[in-house]
Amino acid sequence: MQIGPYALANRLIVAPMAGVTDRPFRKLCKRLGAGLAISEMVAADPRLWGTQKSQRRTDHTGEVEPISVQIAGSDPHMMAQAARYNVERGAQIIDINMGCPAKKVCNAAAGSALLKDEALVGRILDAVVEAVDVPVTLKFRTGWDRDHRNAPRVARIAESAGVRALAIHGRTRACGFTGTAEYETIADVRSQVSIPVIANGDIGSARKAKEVLEQTGAHAVMIGRAAQGRPWLFREILHYLGTGTELPPPAVAEVGALLHEHLLELYTFYGEQQGVRIARKHIAWYTKALAGSAPFREAVNRLESAPAQLEAVDHFFSQLALSNERLVYGEEELAAS
């Protein structure tokens, strides 16, 4: 998988997710097998660049290259400025967000709302590609609703503008995250452009990743929500694609150690108070399907200090390891998750 001058280690990519793909999460996913991890989106509005949130989103210290940063906005000039700003701060690939279905993004005529205006799509892509000397990629959806699937046209516009790779979520803007992803449009796009195409949507297992690659002909797959609390998913997919055999579930002790490491990174990156609060959702994702974890999650969400949170997590996994060598899922937990 090649994006401009960068040869990725493999064809597994972490999707950009606001509030999730911060530097600690990206580093962990890359260490566990992802070939590329895209940052949370950075707003194109320069008035927001000085905020603590934006400063953290543009902090790539210690991150494995290549570093890909997603920008979001609807004004071509601002998007070009944002691309230059992020390249100055270490971005080696600029990704453009035309896929986010969130109301606050679409109400600002950004994200997947842009798919309604193909002329504006072209102006934005032209401006960003011209503004920087690094590869520009585009993440978008199949269209804005089921009656307006214009991804093939948008893909051709992007290729003409000089975009170097396309990531397509197999849903329309109107679908949000409901229903199931459709891959026919992704396959159609793949047949109409010569640049790399990355398939995204409902890829939650090694077998599914292989099926989607075969069904769409895509060069790579992008994984988002399925990696929340399961960063080892990339390792499992990589192994399956290479050998045709599935890895066993990770050992309880390893999952506990990974979560412990992740929490320490969050405390360092955000500071203790905010780190503890952000860690709660990650703890919930790591443990949501583990047998007997519901009372643990309820208790740990009341803890306010990093030492108490770490101690509770370590105790939970040490107790779980006494009875289960590898992850064991309870039916009641799966049904509730």
- Domain range for 197 is 2-243
pLDDT score at 324: 73
Mean of all residue pLDDT scores within the chain? 91
3-state secondary structure of 6: strand
Q: Do 68 and 214 fall into the same domain?
A: yes
- What does the pLDDT average to over 312-327? 85
Whether residues 203 and 56 fall in one domain: yes
Query: What integer pLDDT is reported at residue 123 of this predicted model?
Result: 97
281 in the same domain as 210? no
Is residue 330 predicted with pLDDT exceeding 50?
A: no
Q: Render pLDDT for 217-247 as a digit per residue (tens, 0 to 9).
A: 999 999 999 999 999 999 999 999 999 999 9
Which of 210, 226, 243 is the last residue before a domain boundary?
A: 243
For range 326-334, the mean pLDDT: 49
Domain boundary residue among 185, 219, 243?
243
Percent of the chain residues topping a pLDDT of 70:
93
pLDDT digits (tens, 9 = 90+) for 248-276: 989 999 999 999 999 999 999 999 999 99
- Give the C-alpha separation, 146 to 127, whole Å: 29
* pLDDT at res. 179: 78
State the pLDDT at residue 328.
59
Same domain, 263 and 162: no
218 with 274, same domain: the answer is no
Of 211, 243, 275, the domain-final residue: 243
Residues 219 and 298 in one domain: no
Confidence (pLDDT) at 113: 83
Where is mean pLDDT largest: 46-55, 131-140, 148-157, 288-297?
131-140
Residues 69 and 141 in one domain: yes
pLDDT at 337: 34
Question: Are 9 and 72 members of one domain?
Answer: yes
Average pLDDT, integer, range 190-201:
97
Q: What is the pLDDT of residue 322?
A: 81
Q: State the average pLDDT over residues 45-57.
A: 88
Same domain, 187 and 215: yes
The band of 329, judged by pLDDT with boundaries at 50, 70 and 90, is low
Same domain? 18 vs 46: yes
Do 46 and 101 reside in the same domain of the chain?
yes
Residues 304 and 204 both lie in one domain? no
At 4, the amino acid letter reads G
Over the stretch 275-287, which tens digit does the pLDDT of each residue have?
999 999 999 999 9
**Arithmetic mean of pLDDT, 288-310:** 92
Q: What pLDDT was estimated at residue 289?
A: 79
Structural contact between residues 71 and 38, judged by C-beta atoms closer than 8 angstroms: no
Q: Distance between CA atoms of 126 and 163, rounded to whole angstroms?
A: 9
Cis? peptide before 66, omega within 30° of 0: yes
Nearest Cα neighbor of 253 from 305, 205, 323, 312 is: 323
Q: What confidence category does residue 31 fall into, taking pLDDT thresholds of 50, 70 and 90?
A: very high
Please tell me the predicted confidence (pLDDT) of residue 334.
37
Question: CATH number of the domain that 64 lies in?
Answer: 3.20.20.70
Q: How many domains does the chain have?
A: 2
Task: Give me the half-sphere count of Cα atoms (radius 13 Å) on the Cβ side of residue 216.
Answer: 30
Catalytic residue (one of 29, 100, 106, 175)? 100
The position carrying tokens 């108490």 is 308
Residue 320, domain CATH: 1.10.1200
Query: Cα(241)–Cα(5) distance, rounded to whole angstroms?
Result: 24
State how beta strands 2-3 and 6-7 pair: antiparallel
Note if 100 is an active site residue: yes
Q: What is the pLDDT of residues 87-144, one digit of tens each?
A: 999 999 999 999 776 555 544 556 778 998 999 999 999 999 999 999 999 999 998 8
* pLDDT at residue 335 tops 50: no
Give the model's pLDDT for residue 75: 94
Q: What is the pLDDT of residue 333?
A: 37
* Alpha-carbon span 213 to 208, nearest angstrom: 9
